[in-house]
Every structure is written in C-alpha cells, then in structure tokens.
Amino acid sequence: MATDFIAFTEGENVVLATGLPGTCYFLLSTSNVASLTTSSTLGGGVGEITGTGYARLSQAAPTPSGGQAAFSIMTWNTGAATNWPNNVKSLILATTVDNTGKAICAWNLIPGGAARDMSAAGTTESVTPTLTTSS
C-alpha cells in the first residue's frame, strides 16, 4: 500500500527543536510522496511547479490540538494561465517562501499519488492539510 505522507528529516529537526514556524509556506510539487525520501531537501529540489501566477501560499501555524495541527483551506487557481503542469502530485510544507529554508513534510493531493492536471485555464486546487503531531 502506498503512503500518502512523508516527513523530511530536515523539517522534523526544525519542528522538534522549535515547533512549527510562525508562518508556514505551502508549495505544489510534481513529485509524489513515493518518489521523495526522508533525506529530500527544499534546497535540493522537491519538484516545485511553475506557471504564470503560481506562488507558494502561507498561513500562520495553527495551535496543535488533540495531537494534530489543522491548517485552513488553501486554494490555487490558474486564472487565465495554461502553463501550469498537468502532473501536480503533492503539497509540501516548508519554512520559507524561497528555497533557503527547510521542507517539513509532504502529502499526496490524490491518494496513491496520481497526477492532478493544472494545465487548463480556470483550474482550481483546494487543500486543507492536517499534520499529526503525536500518535
């Protein structure tokens, strides 16, 4: 059975030392969780997408409750652009708006890591990630 979540060592170390960053950044990636490893790094490239109008989204770190940190819904919209990839597979939580920070973890957008086609104008992807902080 394929896993749909991975925690990166570089990000786990940040979270263990200081907790979630005050501002969390989310990026879309063409890598599915199965193709990433715990040693994958934000600076080493995790397959972040590009396209007209694409940008990482950010939000304040939620207060963990019941062993989970539940983030608010986030939505990416291609607008009139048709140059976003047709193989978007995962959402990655990072510490910075650029690649100078750390990748914390990743979730597949579709269970099993199937691709989401974001190459058409007016395409929207909405996600509401939850990070389990204890078992």
**What integer best gives the mean pLDDT of the chain?**
94
Q: In this structure, is residue 77 part of a structural domain?
A: no
Give the pTM.
0.94
Residue 133 pLDDT > 90: no
User: pLDDT for 38-91, tens place per residue?
Assistant: 999 999 989 999 999 999 999 999 998 888 999 999 999 999 999 999 999 999
Q: pLDDT value at position 67?
A: 87
Q: How many domains does the chain have?
A: 1
Q: For the CA atoms of 11, 12, 15, 17, what is the dihedral angle to 10 degrees?
A: -110
Residue 44, classified by CB atoms within 10 Å of its CB into exposed (0-12), middle (13-18) or buried (19+), is exposed
Q: In this structure, is residue 124 part of a structural domain?
A: no
> How far is it, in rounded angstroms, from Cα 60 to Cα 24?
6
Percent of the chain with pLDDT over 70: 96
Q: In this structure, is residue 66 part of a structural domain?
A: no
Which of the four pLDDT bands, split at 50, 70 and 90, describes residue 2?
Answer: low
Q: In this structure, is residue 67 part of a structural domain?
A: no
Q: In this structure, is residue 128 part of a structural domain?
A: no
Q: Which sign does the torsion angle of CA 101, 107, 29, 74 carry?
A: negative
Q: In this structure, is residue 100 part of a structural domain?
A: yes
> How far is it, in rounded angstroms, from Cα 103 to Cα 2?
21
Q: pLDDT value at position 132?
A: 85
Q: 65 in helix, strand or coil? A: strand
Q: pLDDT value at position 104?
A: 96
Range of the domain at 43: 1-61+86-118
Q: In this structure, is residue 27 part of a structural domain?
A: yes
Q: In this structure, is residue 46 part of a structural domain?
A: yes
